[in-house]
Amino acid sequence: MTEQIGPIEKRMTKKLDVAFAPERLDVINESRLHAGHQESFDGTGETHFRIRIISSKFAGMPRLARHRAINELLADELAEGVHALALEPAAPDESVRW
Domain-embedded: residue 61: yes
* Better-scored residue on pLDDT, 47 or 59: 59
Domain-embedded: residue 1: no
Domain-embedded: residue 72: yes
Displacement of CA 74 from its chain's centroid (Å) = 9
Domain-embedded: residue 32: yes
**How far apart, in whole angstroms, are the C-alpha atoms of residue 22 and residue 82?**
22
What is the total count of domains within the chain? Answer: 1
Domain-embedded: residue 16: yes
Specify the CATH number for the domain of residue 73. Answer: 3.30.300.90
Q: Phi, psi (5° rounding) for residue 85?
A: -125, 120
**How far apart, in whole angstroms, are the C-alpha atoms of residue 61 and residue 81?**
28
What does the pLDDT look like over 49-90, one tens digit per residue? 999 999 999 999 999 999 999 999 999 999 998 988 999 999
Boundaries of domain holding 70: 7-90
What does the pLDDT look like over 4-27, one tens digit per residue? 788 999 999 999 999 999 999 999
β 24-29/48-54 pair status: antiparallel
Q: Would the pLDDT of 39 be above 90?
A: no
DSSP 67-93: HHHHHHHTHHHHHTT--EEEEEEE-TT
Domain-embedded: residue 59: yes
